[in-house]
């Protein structure tokens, strides 16, 4: 099966939507808390689009990355690198000549859409993360990843996997959080000792225990006096147990310990840094390959550089580039690369001046980078900031600079992403639509480049 059966997906979505609408608006909503797995049944997800968000936590200094700024006479210094170099350009993308930015945009610029001048309207980490990954700056909205998973594959057991960063479900789907690939191994083989590979119990004992649990579930479901919430929970438990063997499709893909990407330790500006980003990427791609999931959240932290900004940002951006290579190379090896939409962003940006600690503090203006192989809308920069990194207005139709236009916020980016992914109508049915937000043609290739 190389493509998802459209009729099957449509039927699944409609059934799920009806249930979700009832759950969200009911006076006794059915709880789908983050600890609850939405297990399912049916065919594995195959051939459809896959969504990955890569959250660069802490606040990336985009003036050292995809929105470069040189120093302005009479103003505080923005960047030390600007004392010795000028911004460079590959294709239509201008970047700061630091870290491994040149290599990054030489390899990925043709498949990237850079969106600059996005105003998160906050200097708070928590609000910034919430706004940048849900499109709304207060609680109650699902993340883009949750929406996509709930719309496209609500019955898959690992539809929405979280390996780091912010995750919000708003009750429309559960998520599975993993810290290491070994956790996935334990999930897929719960009755196997990880150090020996031997079964924890005799198979006859396991079978007897399983029968006992199944009988107790049936007894409780048939008894009177159960609330709707209890009945739904028991139903999910039964469904999970009936379909747990599907996890073997993932168990068979998990590599030996020596082939799992290792955590990397490095330092910058006197600060020790640690990252398991490559293992997060490997884990997400294996879930995708298994057909059990469709969206994943990844994160790389450490960007909150209030001191020694440039050494820290350069080290992290270099590691980020190396991890991107690992991600796309692995995705290509697994035959997944042409199905993935990768959305990269952060909490916000960093100030347009260097502080006394040689660092930078919080600044609301940031950027997104959106990647997809062979996209017709890529190799473009949308939005801009002035010489002091204040966001400029754009015309919502042409996306060109305009004094009569609007300042982009994460809401505009999410609106465009939802429309491109085909989930905005689904969100609106659940009461999470961005109907009052102007729709920007970010993914229309005929708009002009800056």
pLDDT in tens, 203-242: 777 678 778 877 887 888 888 888 877 877 777 666 656 6
Copy the structure tokens of residue 195: 């150090």
Mean pLDDT within 114-122: 98
Asked if the structure places residue 397 within a domain, the reply is: yes
> In this structure, is residue 441 part of a structural domain?
no
Q: What is the pLDDT of residue 405?
A: 97
Judge whether residue 105 has pLDDT over 90.
Answer: yes
Q: What is the CA radius of gyration of the chain?
A: 23
Q: From CA 54, how far away is CA 346, in angstroms rounded?
A: 8
How far is CA 14 from each of CA 96, 218, 430, rounded to the nearest angstrom?
47, 28, 12
pLDDT in tens, 47-93: 899 999 999 999 999 999 999 999 999 999 999 999 999 999 999 99
Residue 76 lies in a domain: yes
Cβ-Cβ contacts under 8 Å for 205 (sequence gap 6 or more): none
| Residue that the structure tokens 């930078």 belong to | 360
CA distance 226 to 92: 62
Q: Which domain holds residue 309?
A: 6-429
Residue at 78 is within a domain = yes
Q: How many CA atoms lie within 13 A of 14 on its CB side?
A: 6
100 located within any domain: yes
Residue 28 has pLDDT above 90, yes or no: no
Here the tokens at position 221 are: 């479901």
**Total structural domains within the chain:** 1
Residue 61 lies in a domain: yes
pLDDT tens, residue by residue, 177-192 = 887 787 777 766 666 6
Look at residue 444 and tell me if it is in a domain. Answer: no
In this structure, how many other beta carbons lie within 10 angstroms of the beta carbon of residue 214?
14
pLDDT at residue 46, rounded to an integer: 82
CA separation for the pair 144, 136 (Å, rounded)? 11
Q: Summarize pLDDT for 225-284 with one digit per residue, the tens.
A: 888 778 777 776 666 566 566 777 788 888 888 999 999 999 888 889 999 999 999 999
The CATH number assigned to the domain holding 395 equals 3.40.720.10
Helix axes 125-134 and 410-421, enclosed angle (nearest 10): 30
Element (H, E) at 299: strand 295-300
Q: Give residue 430's pLDDT band: very low, low, confident or very high (50, 70, 90).
A: very high
Domain membership flag for residue 253 = yes
Query: Are 348 and 58 in contact, with CB atoms under 8 Å apart?
Result: no
Residues 346 and 125: their CA atoms lie apart, in Å, by: 10
Q: What does the pLDDT read at residue 183? A: 72
């Amino acid at each position: 099966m190389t493509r998802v059966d459209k009729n099957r997906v449509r039927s699944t979505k409609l059934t799920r939507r009806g249930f979700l609408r009832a759950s969200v608006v009911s006076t006794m909503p059915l709880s789908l808390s983050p600890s609850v797995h939405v297990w399912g049944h049916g065919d594995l997800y195959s051939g459809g689009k896959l969504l990955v968000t890569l959250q660069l936590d802490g606040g990336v200094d985009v003036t050292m990355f995809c929105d470069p700024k040189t120093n302005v006479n009479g103003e505080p210094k923005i960047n030390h690198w600007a004392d010795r170099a000028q911004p460079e350009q590959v294709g239509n993308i201008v970047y700061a000549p630091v870290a491994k930015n040149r290599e990054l945009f030489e390899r990925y610029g043709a498949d990237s859409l850079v969106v600059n001048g996005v105003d998160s309207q906050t200097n708070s980490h928590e609000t910034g993360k919430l706004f940048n990954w849900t499109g709304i700056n207060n609680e109650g909205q699902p993340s883009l990843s949750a929406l996509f998973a709930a719309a496209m594959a609500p019955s898959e057991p690992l539809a929405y996997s979280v390996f780091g960063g912010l995750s919000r479900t708003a009750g429309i789907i559960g998520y599975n959080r993993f810290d290491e690939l070994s956790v996935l191994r334990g999930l897929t083989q719960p009755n196997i000792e990880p150090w020996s590979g031997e079964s924890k119990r005799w198979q006859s004992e396991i079978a007897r225990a399983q029968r006992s649990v199944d009988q107790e579930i049936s007894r409780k479901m048939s008894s009177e006096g159960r609330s709707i919430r209890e009945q739904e929970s028991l139903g999910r438990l039964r469904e999970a147990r009936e379909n747990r063997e599907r996890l073997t499709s993932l168990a068979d893909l998990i590599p030996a310990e020596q082939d799992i990407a290792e955590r990397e330790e490095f330092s910058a500006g006197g600060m020790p840094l640690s990252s398991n980003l490559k293992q997060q990427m490997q884990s997400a791609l294996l879930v995708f390959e298994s057909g059990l999931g469709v969206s994943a959240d990844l994160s790389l932290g450490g960007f909150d550089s209030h001191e020694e900004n440039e050494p820290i940002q350069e080290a992290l951006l270099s590691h980020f580039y190396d991890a991107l290579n690992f991600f796309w190379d692995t995705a290509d090896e697994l035959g997944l690369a042409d199905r993935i939409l990768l959305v990269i962003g952060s909490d916000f940006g960093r100030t347009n001046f260097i502080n006394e600690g040689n660092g930078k503090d919080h600044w609301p203006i940031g950027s997104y980078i959106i990647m997809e192989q062979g996209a017709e809308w890529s190799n473009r920069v949308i939005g801009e900031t002035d010489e002091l990194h204040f966001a400029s207005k754009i015309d919502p139709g042409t996306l060109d600079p305009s004094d009569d236009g609007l300042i982009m916020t994460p809401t505009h980016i999410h609106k465009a992403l939802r429309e491109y992914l085909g989930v905005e109508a689904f969100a609106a049915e659940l009461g999470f639509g961005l109907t009052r937000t102007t729709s920007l043609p970010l993914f229309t290739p005929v708009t002009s480049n800056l």
